[in-house]
């Protein structure tokens, strides 16, 4: 295929990228400390923070992988998206008050106050590994369509995307992330909305025929409803997702708890972000289904050699008019960049606050920590590019499933620790530590058996069950162990549990 996007589209994309760099440069002038750089404390309006949250949650995983999965498979991921309402409620009424009132800079600092330094190290390490993997995955994902649209080699595009995102994130910190996210959120909404009318134009019967064909071919299915742990079914998607609500205690979300000027503005930001993102996820699935019907009625042999995530870019290249194609590509870039910048900022914040400043270099000036923050952000930019190249050479499953697998593995048990800390006063250091070690050992054993001992792996549940089983086991075992392990009771739990926070109100 020799087609490429129009010169006008290149101009539109170039202006957009220049605007992102300018925002990063302007925001860099306002950062005087690492706290301002990573948290932008009480300086951001709620509506901008809400748009930023929405854009971060969408990412290129939604813009490309969700339509790609709906095109290839069905609507299996749709029900899990609505569970973000649970996470939003928990975040607003349980976690956000604790983080805003206690002045805690990271969720893992909270766990240290509640259980000890081991909890901070354990959970912060898991989060950084999960976000590092996500950085590589999203960078790889957004580079796929750019390869189709520009004809440039995929490794070169991975490097270019990574450098641009890292540049404005390193320069401007969280302020740059939020303001660029707001622009990117608007851009990705406009870009996505352009596509469906063009798809419907190519389907003679319009919406009615689209859903009729999709229903006949099983493209609207929510998956197999058999209750089994051996394969990916509807229940494998729903039940683990309930226990995988790390979103409300992820560092990127905690940053948005404290960035707005007031608690009321912060609540508005969380609800705005979630209530905007859920319809967008449904829309992206509908777009993927529409593309399936479009190409069933208008066969295209070139699609046979493409992966599912390349279908939408191919449609943009061949069906969307010049000028409008540039806007859609901006939406695609915006979806990826918003998630990448947030992940870089959050990961660098964790490394700076929870490791560098806490354990290695103490009591230095804010200028020193601000400089260190930027260098650490730069390191994550390099990690992002390196892992994206690694995924390019080693990928063996769909991006949507790979993303879910990464979250399932690296988040094991972490949500349970937060819930033990906030919901109970009884569970203390020794019970939480011993049961966390047992949980980690069981998860590692599970992964080793699954990868190396196929004769035993058939007796184990699918790896997608890791979040629910690890979190349930850790919560139940730690709570039970608290009755058996003799602890030296903490004297001050002020603002560290739900009960003691209520007593302080």
Write out 446-479 in H/E/C secondary structure. Answer: HHHHHHHCHHHHCCCCCHHHHHHHHHHHHHHHHH
- What the block records as the tokens of 189 is 């909404």
Split at pLDDT 50, 70, 90, the class of 477 is very high
Q: And the tokens for 21?
A: 């760099």
- pLDDT at position 503 over 60: no
Among 40-44, 182-186, 360-364, 387-391, whose mean pLDDT is lowest?
Answer: 40-44
- Judge whether residue 308 has pLDDT over 60: yes
Indicate whether 437 pLDDT > 70. yes
- Closest Cα partner for 58 from 277, 378, 293, 276? 277
pLDDT tens digits along 95-144: 787 777 766 666 778 888 888 888 888 888 877 887 787 788 778 877 87
Contacts of 438 (CB under 8 A, 6+ apart): 477
CATH 1.20.1730.10 residue ranges in the chain?
A: 40-411
Say which residue, 500 or 269, is predicted with more confidence: 269
pLDDT at 112: 84
Q: What is the mean pLDDT of the chain?
A: 75
pLDDT at 62 over 60: yes
- Please, what CATH class does the domain formed by 40-411 belong to? mainly alpha
In percent, the amount of the chain with pLDDT more than 90 equals 0
Angle at 369 between CA 365 and CA 372, to 5 degrees: 140
Which long-range CB contacts under 8 A does 150-159 form with residues at least 24 apart?
Answer: 150/4, 150/5, 151/2, 151/4, 154/392, 155/389, 155/392, 158/385, 158/388, 158/389, 158/392, 159/385
Report residue 505's pLDDT band, with 50, 70 and 90 as the boundaries: very low
Residue 476: pLDDT band by 50, 70, 90 thresholds?
Answer: very high
């Amino acid at each position: 295929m020799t087609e490429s996007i129009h010169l006008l589209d290149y101009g539109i994309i170039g202006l957009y990228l220049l605007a992102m760099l300018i925002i990063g440069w302007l925001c860099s002038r306002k950062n005087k400390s690492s706290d301002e750089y990573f948290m932008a404390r009480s300086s951001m309006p709620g509506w901008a923070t809400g748009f930023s949250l929405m854009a971060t949650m969408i990412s290129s995983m939604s813009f490309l992988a969700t339509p790609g999965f709906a095109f290839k498979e069905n609507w299996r991921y749709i029900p899990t998206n609505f569970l973000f309402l649970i996470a939003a409620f928990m975040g607003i009424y349980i976690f956000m008050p604790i983080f805003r009132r206690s002045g805690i800079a990271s969720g893992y600092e909270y766990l240290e106050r509640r259980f000890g330094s081991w909890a901070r190290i354990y959970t912060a390490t898991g989060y950084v590994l999960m976000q590092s993997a996500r950085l590589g995955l999203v960078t790889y994902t957004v580079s796929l369509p750019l390869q189709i649209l520009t004809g440039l080699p995929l490794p070169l595009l991975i490097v270019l995307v990574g450098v641009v995102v890292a540049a404005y994130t390193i320069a401007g910190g969280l302020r740059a992330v939020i303001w660029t996210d707001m622009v990117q959120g608007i851009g990705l909404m406009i870009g996505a909305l352009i596509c469906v009318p063009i798809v419907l134009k190519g389907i003679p019967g319009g919406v009615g025929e689209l859903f009729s064909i999709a229903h006949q071919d099983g493209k609207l299915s929510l998956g197999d409803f058999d209750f089994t742990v051996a394969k990916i079914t509807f229940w494998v998607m729903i039940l683990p997702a309930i226990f995988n609500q790390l979103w409300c205690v992820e560092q990127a979300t905690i940053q948005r708890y404290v960035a707005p000027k007031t608690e009321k503005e912060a609540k508005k930001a969380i609800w705005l972000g979630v209530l905007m993102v859920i319809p967008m996820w449904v829309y992206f699935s509908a777009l993927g289904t529409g593309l399936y019907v479009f190409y069933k009625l208008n066969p295209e042999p070139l699609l046979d050699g493409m992966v599912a995530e390349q279908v939408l870019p191919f449609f943009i290249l061949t069906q969307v008019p010049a000028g409008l194609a540039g806007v859609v590509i901006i939406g695609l870039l915006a979806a990826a960049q918003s998630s990448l910048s947030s992940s870089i900022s959050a990961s660098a914040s964790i490394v700076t606050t929870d490791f560098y400043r806490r354990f290695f270099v103490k009591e230095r000036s804010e200028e020193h920590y601000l400089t260190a923050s930027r260098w650490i952000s730069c390191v994550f930019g390099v990690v992002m590019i390196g892992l994206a190249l690694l995924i390019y050479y080693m990928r063996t499953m769909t991006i949507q499933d790979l993303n879910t697998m990464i979250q399932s593995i690296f988040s094991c048990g972490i949500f349970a620790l937060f819930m033990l800390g906030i919901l109970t006063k009884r569970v203390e250091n020794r019970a939480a530590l011993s049961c966390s070690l047992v949980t980690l050992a069981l998860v590692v054993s599970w992964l080793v058996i699954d990868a190396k001992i196929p004769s035993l792996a058939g007796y184990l549940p699918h790896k997608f069950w890791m979040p629910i089983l690890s979190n349930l086991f850790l919560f139940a075992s730690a709570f039970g162990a608290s009755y058996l392990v003799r602890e030296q009771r903490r004297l001050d739990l002020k603002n560290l549990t739900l009960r003691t926070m209520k007593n302080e109100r």
